[in-house]
Chain A
Amino acid sequence: MVNATLFQVRVIFLSEYILEMKNITKEFPGVKALDNVNFKVKRGEIHCLIGENGSGKSTLMKVLSGFHKHGTYDGQIIFEGKEQKFNTIYDSEKVGIVTIYQELALIPELTVYENIFLGHEIKNKGIIDWNKTITEAEKVLKKLGYTLDTSKKVKDFGVGVQQIIEIAKALSKNVKLLILDEPTSALNETDSEKLLQIIKDLKNHGITSILISHKLNEVLEVADTITVLRDGLTITTIENNNISENVIIKHMVGREINDIYPKRDHEIGDKLFEVKNWKAFDKKNERYVVKSANFYVRRGEIVGIAGLIGAGRTELAHSIFGNPDDYKVSGELYFEGKKVQFKSPSDAIKSGIAYVSEDRKGNGLILDFDIKTNITIANLKKILKGIFVNENEEVIIAEDYRKSLKIKSHSIEQKVLNLSGGNQQKVSLAKWLFVTPKLLILDEPTRGIDVGAKHEIYSIMNELVAEGMSIIMISSELPEVLGMSDRIYVMAGGKIIGELSNKEATQEKIMAMAVEY
């Protein structure tokens, strides 16, 4: 930790800026990811870096951390008054720049203290001093206001605490500039609040932070300064006093989005799908993840399922979708008035249900496949000619979806791996629309994607329900649940504990139900 008094003495000698990135240009084959970007961070501030997916935020941070090594980009990095030429991430960490990535870099099977000092173990003549390691680990955590049993394995803690452990790890490396990439995207509201408070506390300890986030409300809450990137250019750097979300959105997307949740107006039909007394037992973790769920969805209706992370919402969807390998289930499902049973996902798909996973990269898409093969994989039989895949028709179909969903790519033969989050989500959506479902289950449909793409996905949802499709939307973002749902179920502790109509629902009511349990 930076000693506070020492820190103040140094201020006198050093410039106002801890970091200056000057005229950074980074090109990838075919794309200019960063174009003469200038980015300055003041000592001791919280600087939020925002922009749509693909705007160059991550690339800029990768240049800073040495992931893209010196020489592969043009421009200068000046940190603490000295020009830096990082060749590896290790180089940047040595001078005190530490990045915490969206995908946490912890080893689940190792203990908390092992994780905190992983890579910079406390050694005595080559032998690890475990006693000192444990004491130091506890000391660092205490600084963050946490007392944990550091001998427990990391996997035994929730994502929220794991995030804290990551920060502790950064602190143990004598961090001066902490970069947090979407730290709250996987956290619920309470944990997010705690994390943001910790970032503010770090500021008082003299640690400068760069925060990348899509959640504008939290940006406005913590930021001292905000820099907006768009299409690899620095659009603006502004002080955070009394600016509104709309101003930021305008800078981000280059146009105004008046109503992020587009209106819809259509008839809602009869009951399409109903779940009664549903229970699901997770075979791997040997516990009930869904204890009691009763709900229904009507034709042309968007039903939101709100709740905190770990409330069992994703497990509810997975267990309904037919996963006998992972879940033992009981209860009844009714589809179009008939009792149904799904022994495998393919049964559910055949009945007309599609499930768009919350984890695009983990179990949504096949990243090594191109766009067109990802779109057709769940319903190949539709384009079979005999036993052969009709590749001409496949091209036509994929082109159709690319146009109608506005998937940004240079061709439908581009690997999904190289698409931005928002575009990956659209491919995922296209894949499931191609099975022409009657009921679409969307699990966190806009996680980690930017405002512009969010708006597009909401509009697509509206078009789908207007055509008579039903949608179940699982989401942790309350504004989204409130803005898009006709009805809302609240889930907590594996149970559906309440139902609210669109009119009566407010953020406060939902949160009260979700945490009351």
Chain B
Amino acid sequence: MMKLHDLLLQKRPAILEKWFQAALETYPADTSRFLRREKDRFANPVGHAISYGMEGLLDQLFDGNDSAKVSSLLDDIVRIRAVQDFSPSQAIGFIFTLKRIIRDVLQSEIRSGNASAEELFALEARIDSMALASFDIYMGCRETIYELKATQVKNATLKLLERTNLLTEMPEHEPDSNDDSDGK
């Protein structure tokens, strides 16, 4: 039996390609063609974040254990999908797709008993942790959006109150207030 790790490294290009393709297919056909074709990271920030992020995530999944790095890579992708035209499940569904893709790519090895079920289970558990982390990031992004919206409204209201002289600011410190002996 081959170690799952070696199998995964061997099949890494196929896994990456299928995973990337699956993510692109969540966009309309004209868009996914562009996301794949344009390699410049500034002309195509979405395609770049997904492909670069997925490469890094596979590295971490197969060989690394840097949770900060995983978070940052996930953030690059999820932050984008959190404002695009996706429901929450669609926005982070790409993580779960990876499990199906790995099982597809390793199908014959799994059938022939060449891949350890235990190791596979452990790998899938790590993918699940990534999904959970994505959920946190997604919620964080949405909360930021709501906060930014709320702050804009609050600031606008405050400005109006100030302009109409309905508010006067509390002075930062009252001079001589410490010397004020008649009880403050």
Whether A associates with B in a native complex is no
Q: Which residues of B contact A (CB under 8 A)?
A: none
Q: Which residues of A contact B (CB under 8 A)?
A: none
